Amino acid sequence: MARERTFALIKPYGVQRGLIGEILSRFEAKGLKIVAMKTLVVSEDLAKSYYSEHIGKPFFEPLIHYITSGPSVAMVLEGDEAVKVVRKMMGKTSPTEADPGTIRGDFGLQIGRNIIHGSDSLTSAEREISLFFEANEIVDFERIDEQWLYGE
To the query of whether residue 65 is one of the catalytic residues in this protein, the response is no
For Mg ion, the closer of residues 54 and 143 by Cβ is 54
Number of residues that bind ligand DAT (CB under 6 A): 8
Q: Which residues 92-121 are close enough to bind Mg ion by CB under 5 A? A: 120
Specify the stretch interacting with ligand DAT by CB under 6 A; choose among 34-42, 70-78, 109-117, 128-136.
Answer: 109-117
Residue 86 CA to residue 104 CA, distance in Å, equals 12
Q: Which stretch binds ligand DAT (CB under 6 A): 13-21, 25-33, 41-49, 108-116?
A: 108-116
Choose between 52 and 130: whose C-beta lies nearer to ligand DAT.
52
**DSSP secondary structure code for residue 135 in this structure:** G
Site for Mg ion in 48-77 (CB under 5 A): none
What whole-number distance in Å separates Cα of residue 82 and Cα of residue 52? 23
Find the binder of ligand DAT among 25, 49, 93, 121 (CB under 6 A). Answer: 93
SS3 3: strand
Alpha helices in 31-118 (DSSP H): 44-50, 60-67, 82-90, 103-107
Residue type, 119: S
d(CA 109, CA 105): 8
Residues 57, 80: Cα–Cα separation, whole Å? 33
Binder to ligand DAT among 22, 80, 120, 137 (CB under 6 A)? 120
Catalytic center residues? 117
Q: Which residues contact ligand DAT by CB under 6 A?
A: 59, 63, 93, 111-112, 114, 117, 120
